[in-house]
Structure 1
Amino acid sequence: MDRVIMHVDMDAFFASVEQRDNPSLKEKPVIVGGIGERGVVATASYEARKYGVHSAMPMYIARKKCPFGVYLPTRHERYRQVSGEIFKIFYSITPIVEPLSIDEAYLDITDVPMKPMDVALYIKKKIKDNVGLTISVGISYNKFLAKLASDWNKPDGIKIITEDMIPNILNSLPISKVYGMGKKSVQKLHNIGIFTIEDMYKLSKEFCIEYFGKFGTEIYERIRGIDNREVQIARERKSIGNETTLKKDIKDKEEMKKYLKEFAHNIGISLSKKNIAGKTVTVKIKTSSFVSHTKSKTLNGYIKSEQDIYNAACEIIDGMELQDDIRLIGLTLSNLKENKIEQLTLDDFL
């Protein structure tokens, strides 16, 4: 393998931290998230997953599926602290680390003077000994396959996918495993009888481009083991936003705008602190039946003020047709860039 990419993923991270901090919770179904009536599951331990509980599930459904589970609120500060300990171990191996989230990352270990399997075993042991948690590791020659491998034997798994295994090892996998395939794309392919990656091999490159747009070429190549993305040391922030699950469903747009104004205020503060601006405003809503909708507006120029963000958000919400009550609303500014302002000198006026 020319490149050696590792994908590391902590197992049920939030729940595992809770079980580690409170040994009486070990081997019990632990569900972490918003524990209120309208909360959502952030993480479920593997004991809870046996009952069908999973992340992003409404908490009231989780309680029906697992009424004897242990339900805990999130402790983000604690999770960040533990995450910091884990990432120090990653950086002790290589400086080429791309964090994907608080509990997940890519590592480029091409130049590490150890066999890939030895690196994986070292990291797993170090995290187990120092932090008391388990991690699943996937290794391959590109990011797509490394991430696929880390999910292969969860929890506490380890797997290497080499070039000679392609395409046979992928054939039986569901198309939802292909990075970049959203729920709508998966359903569209199901509608035409495409269910596995082997089925996707029947699709021409031209069909994929027409069907998936600009990502068509990447999807066509990925199922053939091609992914040229590099591990990015500094990941550029793509968006800044806020969202909230409402205490009660609403349908009045003026009431929604009160939340949008608060979000715009928070986003404006973040933009000012980071000295950045953006030009794409997106409003997200989730209906009482848990169907999500987003609508975006890309402006001609970059904006950073609370009022400009709020005005654009109001235009979007005014143009949305709302059939059902809304249980969640969110606002995001994306398409970001540094807000460079040149300092004028006396010479500019002479």
Structure 2
Amino acid sequence: MRTEASVLHIDLDAFFAAVEQRDKPSLRGKPVIIGGVGGRGVVATASYEARAFGVRSAMSTREARSRCPNAAFLNGRFHAYREASSRVMAVLREASPLVEPLSIDEAFVDLRASDLETYDVATVTAFGEQLRAAVREASGGLTASVGIGSSKFIAKVASDLDKPDGLVVVPPGTEQQLLRPMAVTVIPGVGPATAERLRRAGIHTVADLEAVSEDELVRLVGKAHGHNLFHLARAQDDRTVESAREAKSVSVEGTYETDLADRKVMEHLLTRQAGQVGERLRKHGLSGRTVSIKVRLHDFTTMSRSSTLASPTDNDAVIARQARALLGALDVSGGVRLLGVGVSGLADWVQDDLFGSSSEVEEELEELPEVPTARTLTWAPGMDVEHSQMGRGWVWGSGKGVVTVRFETALTPPGPVRSYRMDDPELQPFMPPEPD
């Protein structure tokens, strides 16, 4: 266990929505919701202005519209998010060579690997403020919340305490005092099911959890989970910051506007997804032993099934065959709205398998029927466009043969709105060049 506050956690605030507000001046200070814009869409991120209306991540777009009808509902622009994330991660690596990205918008930083000579509260606080300022400058104005503590767990808890755009340092020796009043859900791994088990046992706060013996926790939630809860309730976390985090799985999934009812179509889609998974595995020199599928039914019930092979594979046909077999064991007669294929148990070697070859998949793909696909609008709300006369802008909305564009960029004031025919040759999608 560390005796100084030398682990930093940084979390970019409402990242996707913040990037959109940065690049679209007319949306600054207004509610913005990123995700699927169709009837079955799901919210990926909501700006803080939208959160004030009760909109949250993973909420259905339908409910988000009912709570905040005046929000801007936009599809994601992942090229913009990746570019902003790359800038931020570069700033973090300049501050310390030991950075562990957790996702596109958050990371741990080990201050022991930085140039700091001491880790007293005043020094690490100044370091955190300088880092937040550097992130804001490099990203074009994005804000970040930062927590600094003696462990990953404490740093992560601290970064959530003063959102958005905050900095919290937990002085060594005060960790348990901070945790005790908090709900048990603050501990990683305590989701709804575990929280309910603990509630039935009269455990609501971390202080309650701390009072329970390790044997009792193991009885309540199992050996591994109980052992983990026992230590985290006492702020005991010795996990190190790992600069290279290996992928645990490779997966592809799709959500469909119309429920899939034909099992043959589902099998074809799984075959196509298996091919995409295999391609990604080979691109990164990986293989995996466990093939899994994810199926979401018409009533939003989600089921997962998996099968483990005798040896690792990156073969499309092997993955597809296992995925189709797993589907065959499920009752999907009521209709399916989401399908996905994944491979886990990854390794950096492959043993040739006799189950099949990629040519089988190619033959099947040639025979694929037309199937419903995830909704992809020609002019998706939020996408970047360029007009030969008006310059760059973004799609405000489209329908009935008309696309409406607001012409503005991150470097301009809020711009004018114009409407065009969807097939207007002067209006084209805009994709910024790849960085060198």
- Structure-1-length-normalised TM-score: 0.92
Amino acid at match of 1:118: A
Give the residue type in structure 1 aligned to 2:281. Answer: L
Q: Show the counterpart of 1:45.
A: 47
What is the aligned partner in structure 2 of residue 327 from structure 1?
337
Counterpart for residue 261 of structure 1: 271
Amino acid at match of 2:321: N
Residue 301 of structure 2: aligned partner: 291
Deviation at 1:99, TM superposition (A): 0.7
Cα–Cα, structure 1 residues 323 and 145, in superposed 2: closer, same or farther, change >3 Å? farther
After TM superposition, give the deviation of residue 207 of structure 1 in Å.
2.9
2:181 is equivalent to residue 172 of structure 1: yes
Per mean C-alpha deviation after superposition, the further-off stretch among 69-78 and 200-209 is 200-209
Whichever residue aligns with residue 292 of structure 2, its letter is T
Contact kept, 8 Å, 1:218 with 1:227, in 2: the verdict is no
Q: How does 1:1-350 map to 2 (within 5 A)?
A: 1-2=3-4, 4-114=6-116, 115-130=123-138, 131-210=140-219, 211-322=221-332, 325-339=335-349
Compared with structure 1, are the counterparts of its residues 324 and 2 closer, same or farther at alpha carbon in structure 2 (3 Å cutoff)? farther
Secondary structure of 1:315's match?
helix
Gap change, CA 1:289 and 1:119, over 3 Å in 2: farther
Corresponding residue SS for 2:108: strand
> Which residues of structure 1 form unaligned runs of 5+?
343-350
Mapped partners of 2:5, 2:169: distance in 1? 13
CA contact (8 A) 2:162 2:168 kept: yes
Offset of residue 56 of structure 1:
1.5
Matched position secondary structure for 1:163: coil
How far 1:95 moved relative to its partner? Answer: 0.5
Bigger Rg over Cα = 2
Give the secondary structure class of the aligned counterpart of 2:173: helix
How many Å apart are 1:3 and its aligned residue?
Answer: 6.0
How many aligned positions are there? Answer: 342
The separation in 2 between residues aligned to 1:161 and 1:298, in whole angstroms, is 44
* Structure 2 counterpart SS, 1:169: helix
Which amino acid letter does the alignment assign opposite residue 206 of structure 1? Answer: D
- Structure 2, unaligned stretches of length 5 or more? 117-122, 353-436
Shift of 1:74: 0.4
Q: Distance in 2 between matches of 1:194 and 1:293?
A: 30
**Counterpart amino acid of 1:319?**
A
- Tell me the amino acid that sits aligned with residue 29 of structure 2: E
**Is the 8 Å Cα contact of residues 312 and 351 (structure 2) preserved in structure 1?**
no
Q: CA separation in 1, counterparts of 2:50 and 2:299? A: 24
Amino acid at match of 1:339: W
Q: Is the 8 A contact 2:286 2:346 kept in 1?
A: yes
TM superposition shift of 1:176: 1.7
SS at match of 2:195: helix
Please give the alpha-carbon distance, in whole angstroms, between the structure 1 residues aligned to 2:160 and 2:92. Answer: 19
- Decide whether aligned partners of structure 1 residues 112 and 276 sit closer, same or farther in structure 2, where only a CA change above 3 A counts: closer
In the alignment, residue 142 of structure 2 is paired with which amino acid? L
Quote the Cα distance in structure 2 between the aligned partners of 1:242 and 1:86.
27
Whole-Å separation in 1 of the counterparts to 2:217 and 2:277:
37
Per-residue CA deviation, residues 186-244 of structure 1 (Å, 9 max, x unaligned), is 23323333222222223321233342342332222112111111111111011000111
Check 1:290–1:198 CA distance in 2 against 1; reply closer, same or farther (3 A cut): farther
SS in 1 for 2:39: coil
What is the percent sequence identity of the aligned residues? 35
Once the two structures are TM-superposed, the CA of residue 142 in structure 1 deviates from its matched residue by: 0.6
Deviation at 1:314, TM superposition (A): 1.9
For residues 60-99 of structure 1, what are the alpha-carbon distances to aligned partners after superposition, in whole Å with 9 as ceiling and x for unaligned? 1111111110111100001111111111111110000001
List per-residue Cα deviations over 1:281-311 (Å, max 9, x = no partner).
1211223333332222222221221111112
Shift of 1:32: 0.9
| Alignment-mate amino acid for residue 86 of structure 1 | V
How far is the alpha carbon of 1:252 from its aligned partner? 4.4
Q: CA separation in 1, counterparts of 2:193 and 2:113?
A: 39
Distance 1:90 1:260 in 2: 39
- Cα distance change on mapping 1:286 and 1:10 into 2, 3 Å: same
Q: Which segment is superposed worse, 275-284 or 333-342? A: 333-342
Q: CA RMSD in A?
A: 1.9
The match for 2:426 is none
